[in-house]
Amino acid sequence: MTIREELELREKEILAPWAAFSRQSRGRRFAEEQCDIRPVFQRDRDRILHCKSFRRLKDKTQVFITPDGDHYRTRLTHTLEVSQNARTIAKALHLNEDLTEAIALGHDLGHTPFGHAGERVLNRLYAEGFDHAEQSLRTVDVLEKNGQGLNLTFEVRDGIVNHQTKGNPCTLEGQVVRLSDKIAYFHHDMDDAIRGGILTEDDVPEEIADVLGHTLNDRLDHFIHDIITASAGRQEIRMSEETGAAMKKLRAFMFERVYTNPAAKGEEKKAEQLVETLFYYYVQSDHTDQLPDYLRELMACGDSRERVVCDYISSMTDRFAIARYKELYVPNTWQ
């Protein structure tokens, strides 16, 4: 018996009956030989952790564009916080922690530079629309490894593409990540807003604080405990009605005070203009030769120029996008 088979048997002993079991995975897009050490979801987690798109997350905006300070979140630190929250919940509910972690680490791989500002621009310019969850799936299926993809399991791919509010993951582990993503960004976006002088703890309305807690740590702790308590013994991941209602109020508060606040979003128009300029530059037929080889190969196989330009721009870090813009449009003597 291999180590992988021993681990698969252990899952049967410790996981809840409604957890996703590695041995019962619906498989990969392309059949391949099993690893003798790692179950399939652990193997997917490792593939995501070692891929280039994961490393690029460290230079992609979470909320604050080019913040003045070392401790603001990036897309990478957001991803790690989502993973930690999700693993805590999954472990407490006896769900598959490897699957949960793989989904969490991969959920934002297709995110654009400059956060949702970049996503809005590509969604407006690309006729078929652009959605970062769908792009994350395209990243692991098609774009990674120079066009070979990572060949992940169905369950991980499903959790990645369905991690947003509108999604409906087929596994409880995917549902855990879907909620963990929300509580992570509410927690760290408020922390960053307080750090940036946009909010104070006292600004949180009492009707929210009385339910969720009066400090950042209290609110995060409340969310995690509430999800575990409300979901225990159920084949559904949920919050209590009281906490869910308070979270909706917290979301409205954050949109009013942070997500649409000029102090936090003052640089977004510049970022949007930069992304739009790069898009129009690369969709010109005489500029597509500047795209990476694997993207030009996708065009040769039938993908539109606009599609692969979205692939290219969404893969950029903030720093790389700015550098390309300067190289193309700013005279050397001005830099």
Cα of first residue to Cα of last residue in the chain, in angstroms, is 63
**pLDDT at res. 310:** 98
Q: Residues with Cβ < 8 Å from 197, sequence gap 6 or more?
A: 263
Which contiguous run of DSSP H or E holds residue 119? helix 115-125
**pLDDT at res. 68:** 67
Angle (nearest 5°) at CA 77 between 72 and 78:
95
Distance CA 160, CA 157 (A): 5
- Please report the DSSP string for 218-261 in residue order: HHHHHHHHHHHHHHTTSSS----HHHHHHHHHHHHHHIIIIIT-
Q: In the predicted model, is pLDDT for residue 67 greater than 80? A: no
Span 176-214, pLDDT tens digits: 999 999 999 999 999 988 988 889 999 999 999 999 999
Distance CA 245, CA 247 (A): 5
Distance CA 135, CA 19 (A): 27
Mean pLDDT for the stretch of residues 148-159: 98
Output DSSP code: residue 142. I
Q: Which two tokens stand for residue 212?
A: 């969720």
Q: In the predicted model, is pLDDT for residue 263 greater than 80? A: no
Predicted confidence band of residue 71 (pLDDT cuts 50, 70, 90) = confident
Phi, psi values for residue 28, rounded to 5°? -100, 165
Output DSSP code: residue 202. G
Q: Which two tokens stand for residue 100?
A: 């949960």
Span 77-136, pLDDT tens digits: 999 999 999 999 999 999 999 999 999 999 999 999 999 999 999 999 999 999 999 999
Distance CA 165, CA 106 (A): 17
Angle (nearest 5°) at CA 30 between 25 and 32:
75
pTM score, two decimals? 0.96
**pLDDT at res. 301:** 96
Span 119-136, pLDDT tens digits: 999 999 999 999 999 999
Predicted confidence band of residue 242 (pLDDT cuts 50, 70, 90) = very high
Distance CA 163, CA 194 (A): 27
Distance CA 157, CA 154 (A): 5
Distance CA 81, CA 301 (A): 38
Residue type, 167: G
Output DSSP code: residue 139. I
Q: Where are the domains of the chain?
A: 3-265
Q: In the predicted model, is pLDDT for residue 261 greater than 90? A: no
CATH architecture of 3-265: Orthogonal Bundle (1.10)
Distance CA 228, CA 237 (A): 8
Cα–Cα separations (whole angstroms), residue 189 to 51, 59, 111, 307: 26, 17, 17, 31
**pLDDT at res. 335:** 59
Distance CA 248, CA 253 (A): 9
Predicted confidence band of residue 324 (pLDDT cuts 50, 70, 90) = very high
Over its C-alpha atoms, the chain yields an Rg (Å, rounded) of 21
- Residue 173: closest CA among 104, 246, 252: 104
Q: Which two tokens stand for residue 333?
A: 């003597």
Q: Which range is most confident: 62-76, 165-179, 246-260?
A: 165-179
C-beta separation of 37 from 3 below 8 A: yes
